[in-house]
Amino acid sequence: MTEQMLTSNGSAPATMRRSPLLASLLGALAHTLVCWLALQLDFFREGGELFYQIIAVVWSGYLGFFACFVLGLNRHFRDTSMTLPIMLWATFGLLLTAYYIDQVRLCVMILFFAILQPGVFRLRFPSFVAVSALCVGLYGVIIWRLSVTHPEALDMTAELIQWAVFTLITAGVVVVAAEISSIRQQLGSRNGQLAGLVDRIQEMAIRDELTGLYNRRHAVERMVKVREMANRNALDFAVAYLDLDFFKRVNDTYGHNVGDEVLRSFAALMGEQLSGRDFAARLGGEEFLIVLVKSDLENCAQLAERVRSAVPALRFASASDLSVTVSIGVAQFSAGESLDQLLARADDALYKAKHSGRNQVCLAADGATTSETEEGTE
């Protein structure tokens, strides 16, 4: 609650400083002062008692808004700044006092443009027009009502001229607001495009463009963090090195377009096998890496075997007769070893899988490799 009410230096909450409430409170002070001067000059028709009652009602509304910000209730609104409700309340207070003020009614109504100011930048344009039209219309209703109930209290010609001037100025403000709204929309569109471009650049910086998997640099950065946690005994993790068998033949026989299709399909297959905390990367060419977080050698080997057994079933639109296989080396992180040592052990296991006939998974344990499967070659 302390953080909601005041910041450490005693200032108002940030959500309130960014809202139109403080500006409206200052406007309310000016409004109160103008009405009080009208009372002193005997222009307030019903006298002091009603004046203080009206001012109390108006200020109770502002205090209610202030309480909403202090208690954080404004966060339940779509617009946390509560711009529209505050503007409507301020307009209501202005029109209420304008009904009881004679001679200097326009001086009070001019304060409406101070009410409009925050709405120029915060309200959607249709809402801004609605508030402006509401005030102009009700101002006209006040003049009509006074012409019926208190015709002796106003000069109808002067009042209509003042209303017309007020309407023209309000229309001018609406035109300016329309231009600002257009500029805001253009800026919003440009900002959206820039945000999309930044996201795209960030994705390009961490992902392989062809497969959508992480690139080598980002995969290593993530592995560094995983290794730090593993060294603190927070988790275990294992890695799998994968290499598509005889991939050069695919490019030479079917062309690089088919080769790219094979890489994309293989990457998608790996992605289907991974949980949210695990990740895969393309290291370059036909070489890939899978990192299983909170996993041991056995679980990683099982996942590698699922991938290996599924690869020959892949079919490619551009080469329906093509079938590929993959060789995989698996290693589990041992406390204290470097990433280079871990990856070297996985690479050694992959080397054995390649030289033991391909299309198989080999495990690395304590620096030695053992063959898990003895599948046939391609």
Residue 209, domain member (yes or no): no
Is this structure's pTM higher than 0.85?
no
d(CA 242, CA 256): 20
Residue 163, domain member (yes or no): yes
Asked if residue 98 lies in contact with residue 105, where contact means CB atoms within 8 angstroms, the answer is yes
> Does 272 lie in the same domain as 193?
no
> Does 109 lie in the same domain as 70?
yes
pLDDT tens-place string over residues 152-209: 877 889 999 999 999 999 999 999 989 988 888 888 888 888 888 888 888 788 999 9
**Helix, strand, coil shares of the chain as percentages rounded to 5?**
65, 10, 25
The pLDDT confidence band at residue 117, using thresholds 50, 70 and 90, is confident
Residue with the larger pLDDT of the pair 370 and 326: 326
> Does 178 lie in the same domain as 224?
no
| CA torsion through residues 65, 67, 69, 73, sign | negative
pLDDT at 291: 97
Catalytic residue among 286, 298, 372, 378: 286
Q: Which domain holds residue 361?
A: 216-371
Using only the alpha carbons of the chain, give its radius of gyration: 37
Question: Which DSSP letter does residue 329 get?
Answer: E
Burial class (CB in 10 A: 0-12, 13-18, 19+), 302: middle
State the total domains in the chain.
2
> Does 191 lie in the same domain as 249?
no
d(CA 363, CA 365): 6
Strand-pair category, 326-332 with 368-371 = unpaired
pLDDT at 19: 57
Asked if residue 291 lies in contact with residue 223, where contact means CB atoms within 8 angstroms, the answer is yes
Residue 160, domain member (yes or no): yes
The pLDDT confidence band at residue 366, using thresholds 50, 70 and 90, is low
> Does 176 lie in the same domain as 78?
yes
CA angle 102, 105, 108 (to 5 degrees): 135
Residue with the larger pLDDT of the pair 377 and 295: 295
| Known catalytic membership, residue 337 | no
What are phi and psi for residue 104, nearest 5 degrees? -110, 30
> Does 250 lie in the same domain as 139?
no
> Does 181 lie in the same domain as 51?
yes
> Does 340 lie in the same domain as 191?
no
The pLDDT confidence band at residue 129, using thresholds 50, 70 and 90, is very high
